[in-house]
Structure 1
Amino acid sequence: MSANIATNIRACTLADIESISDWLDTTENNPWSVKAITEVLEKPHYRVLVSHSASAVKGLCLFTLVADECNLLYITVDSQYRQQGIGRQLLNALITQCQQQSISRVFLEVRESNQAAIALYASAGFINNGMRKNYYPAIKTVLVNQLDSQLDSQLDSQLDNENSQRETALLFDLSLIEINKEAN
């Protein structure tokens, strides 16, 4: 994985749709259209988080919150920004939001062939709960995964580690700025 890039995570707005549409429809195996994402922004149980920088939206996370459960429906990152930690940042933001709202379980389905996503979810503490064969058109098998609230301490540790990595990267960036100032 390349170094993490500086992004912010926040709720998606209608103003983000144009930036998302620049890349979403070209995303491989994309089950969500820009139109569908626009429509769910107005539905009460749906949430869409975006990872953005000053210039553009780089990724999104779509999920539902109903009662004390979350269903992660989709995480995707613009292909030019993949392998930079954005998917992990979005997943961590979703988990944090669930913890803040006392959500006890997070469910997701992932294509059996999507090894990068499977590894990401496993590293966040998701466990495989089974599989669905031939449930979706054009998808042979999906794995059903779950994250339970008893894993909160593991998640807190993972988030602390990520925050520590961000602080180290920021200090390194500040050091480079100081070196450049001294050189000039």
Structure 2
Amino acid sequence: MPVALGPAKIGDAPAIATMSRTLIEPGLPWRWTPRRVAAHMKERENLVVTAKEGSGLVGFAMAQFDTESVHLTLIGVAEDRKRSGIGKQLIAWVEESAIVAGLFRVNLEVRASNQSALRFYAALGYREIGRVTGYYSGIEDAVRLTKKLGS
């Protein structure tokens, strides 16, 4: 079954929040609850994209558009679908949306311990620009990454 990417609907918020809880936030307080995801979706300067197989969510990306750049807030791909190209497709959607909006930089943070994510982003051209001590609820440090688009 092919994976379909598209803008998220409010009804997707609980599934996105659950995926965030299990894939991105283990060991941390649950910050991206269904209510917070839905609120993020309603803000005009935010983008939420889903990847679905049939009616099932297999991935998502959330981003905030600023005046200078785009901040990739969250991205998640179901465990059994990792390394299938879904993450790369979601990032491409965010990057293309940034260019259309006239923004040519994407920034993000990733857990310092998440070596597979760091390799994933490096392969897509993201580079480290710093570290933030205790970024994740004072529990874990973040690596701050950036990518200049259109170069």
Shorter-chain TM-score bucket reads: 0.7 to 0.9
Q: Return closer, same or farther for 1:27/1:142 CA change in 2, 3 Å cut-off.
A: same
Q: Deviations over 1:30-76 (max 9, x none)?
A: 54222211111111211111111223121110110011310011101
Residues 1:15 and 2:11 are matched in the alignment: yes
Q: Return closer, same or farther for 1:136/1:20 CA change in 2, 3 Å cut-off.
A: closer
Letter aligned with residue 52 of structure 2: H
The answer to which of 97-106 and 133-142 deviates more is 133-142
The residue aligned with 1:168 is none
Residues 1:6 and 2:11 are matched in the alignment: no
The residue aligned with 1:63 is 63
User: Helix, strand or coil for the counterpart of 1:59?
Assistant: strand
- Supply the distance in 1 between the matched residues of 2:141 and 2:71 (Cα, whole angstroms): 18
Letter aligned with residue 140 of structure 1: E
CA RMSD of aligned residues (A): 2.1
Residues 1:48 and 2:51 are matched in the alignment: no
More strand by share: 2
Letter aligned with residue 41 of structure 1: M
The alignment-based identity, stated in percent, is 22
The residue aligned with 1:162 is none
Is the Cα–Cα contact under 8 Å of residues 5 and 51 in structure 2 kept in the other structure?
yes
**Whose radius of gyration is greater, 1 or 2?**
1
Q: Return closer, same or farther for 1:80/1:33 CA change in 2, 3 Å cut-off.
A: farther
- Supply the distance in 1 between the matched residues of 2:18 and 2:134 (Cα, whole angstroms): 31
More helix by share: 1
Q: Return closer, same or farther for 1:148/1:115 CA change in 2, 3 Å cut-off.
A: same
How many positions carry a matched residue from both structures? Answer: 147
Is the Cα–Cα contact under 8 Å of residues 128 and 143 in structure 1 kept in the other structure?
yes
The 5-angstrom pairing of residues 138-157 of structure 1 reads 138-149=138-149, 152-153=150-151
- TM-score by length of structure 1 reads 0.71
Give the drift of 1:138: 4.3
Where relative contact order (Cα < 8 A, 6+ residues apart) is larger, the structure is: 2
Of 4, 22, 26, 1:26 maps to 22
Residues 1:98 and 2:77 are matched in the alignment: no
Q: Return closer, same or farther for 1:23/1:73 CA change in 2, 3 Å cut-off.
A: closer
Give the drift of 1:89: 1.2
User: Helix, strand or coil for the counterpart of 1:41?
Assistant: helix
Q: Return closer, same or farther for 1:67/1:50 CA change in 2, 3 Å cut-off.
A: same
User: Helix, strand or coil for the counterpart of 1:128?
Assistant: strand
- TM-score by length of structure 2 reads 0.85
Q: Deviations over 1:131-176 (max 9, x none)?
A: 0112332432111111113xx25xxxxxxxxxxxxxxxxxxxxxxx
- Supply the distance in 2 between the matched residues of 1:93 and 1:139 (Cα, whole angstroms): 31
- What residue ranges of structure 1 are gaps of 5+ in the alignment? 154-184
